[in-house]
Copies of this chain bind each other. A is one copy, B any other.
């Protein structure tokens, strides 16, 4: 009986949060410009109402009660356990602190946006200092055993710690540079053909075909245009993707559409019977990202995929691509070159961007980095790891919105997502005989089914590491990523590594 009541409140809160997601989707796709102010307050009210439900005394009591009820089913027990975890963690932050953080976020976002517009970091410095102060306080309120940063990492990736990530990035720092050096020794590939005129509608139609082919269910979703691509879910039965289109850059739409499609396949594969419950939610940010990157990179930037799709793409753009061979197209989409902007980086140097942010966040949390040295440290790390220096802070420390949102500990999930993706992909190729040939002929069902059974169906039941172990027989190990990268890029750059 009390489980029913627990489920009722949980799903009501989900209704409100999903409603907010619809309003958010509309804001980024169709909302007229004057709608902003009212939309802001509507979103705030939805968030407050959902929050009130999930932090009420009744809810806390229900969770406590249920956690010692012996005759819950396994599914019920898991649903209770995970919510109790969330509840207890949230309860450690006093209301005034949450309000202060919300206020600081709003101020920081404003300052960040102004600083970018005026190309002046100093406009942002004070707000960032304030935010960092609050994040330290938050870590203290949460409590931690090892490093204060651990308390924040756990917000984005349950159970993630600095010692685990130190190990991951340590290997990366050791193993990636030799690969990059080898690539730099090869002949740089050509990718200028992406920058021709590609009519919008034709691009759009092709991206819809690709989404359909990989298994995205258009009866339970749709693709719309937005400035910044994103995936949003209002239930497993209504999962939408958005993407951008640039008429002078074919690459912009293509992989952002496949990337979001990967996120969406995950959300569409979550168990609909667990609507609004933990077991109906994704496992973690890193697992979510593993799904988008597996489809975007391992599949969508792979030669087999384009063996199937390139002829149709060429047929749609005969003038632009008629003279570009499949090999040249494949090489161009995988060009490796150190660059300043994280979101535009290739799939190898990308991880140094993440690592730089990780090192900085960690250093800020344990005071080994002084806030006033930040822009300089940023430049220095880019010089050290990527061999280039941002000419200004807009292309440097001001490029990401995350810190203004109060998101400290988020960046690592991007890299973890790639590493999990490579490990899953390697395993899929072992477990699914003929996968390569299937992809070459545009058959993606077995792969999607494998992901559904191995990952999607579980919702939040298992943490990232457990999920990975169940599926691949071991926890995260970047060896798979390094093997994937080495084999792929040795081929593209015709170098021996």
Report the Cα distance A46→B26, complex, angstroms: 17
Among candidates B34, B46, B222, B234, residue contacting A219 with C-beta atoms closer than 8 Å: B34
Stretch at the interface among A13-21, A93-101, A365-373, A442-450: A13-21
Say yes or no: is A35 at the interface (Cβ < 8 Å to chain B).
Answer: yes
Per-residue CB contact flags for chain A residues 90-112 toward chain B (1 = under 8 Å, else 0) read 00000000000000000000000
- Is the Cβ of A45 less than 8 Å from the Cβ of B222? no
Say yes or no: is A235 at the interface (Cβ < 8 Å to chain B).
Answer: yes
- Is the Cβ of A38 less than 8 Å from the Cβ of B237? yes
- Is the Cβ of B19 less than 8 Å from the Cβ of A238? no
Report the Cα distance A238→B16, complex, angstroms: 21
* CB contact under 8 A between A275 and B38, given known A32-B219, A46-B16, A222-B32: yes
Choose among A38, A46, A221, A237 the residue with the greatest number of B CB atoms under 10 Å from its CB: A38
Say yes or no: is A394 at the interface (Cβ < 8 Å to chain B).
Answer: no
* CB contact under 8 A between A222 and B30, given known A18-B38, A22-B23, A46-B16: yes
Residues of chain B within 8 A of A39, CB atoms compared = 234-235, 238
Q: Number of A residues contacting the other chain (C-beta, 8 Å)?
A: 37
Say yes or no: is A181 at the interface (Cβ < 8 Å to chain B).
Answer: no
Say yes or no: is A432 at the interface (Cβ < 8 Å to chain B).
Answer: no
Q: From DSSP, what is the main secondary structure of chain A's interface residues?
A: helix
Residues of chain B within 8 A of A45, CB atoms compared = 12, 15-16, 19
Say yes or no: is A430 at the interface (Cβ < 8 Å to chain B).
Answer: no
Chain A, range 1-56, C-beta contacts under 8 Å to B: 11-12, 15-16, 18-20, 22-23, 26, 30-35, 37-39, 41-42, 44-46, 49
Closest to A15 in B: B45
Report the Cα distance A1→B130, complex, angstroms: 33
Closest to A220 in B: B34
Residues of chain B within 8 A of A144, CB atoms compared = none
* CB contact under 8 A between A34 and B234, given known A18-B42, A19-B46: no
Instruction: Please list the residues of chain A having a beta carbon within 8 angstroms of any beta carbon in chain B.
Output: 11-12, 15-16, 18-20, 22-23, 26, 30-35, 37-39, 41-42, 44-46, 49, 217-222, 224, 234-235, 237-238, 275
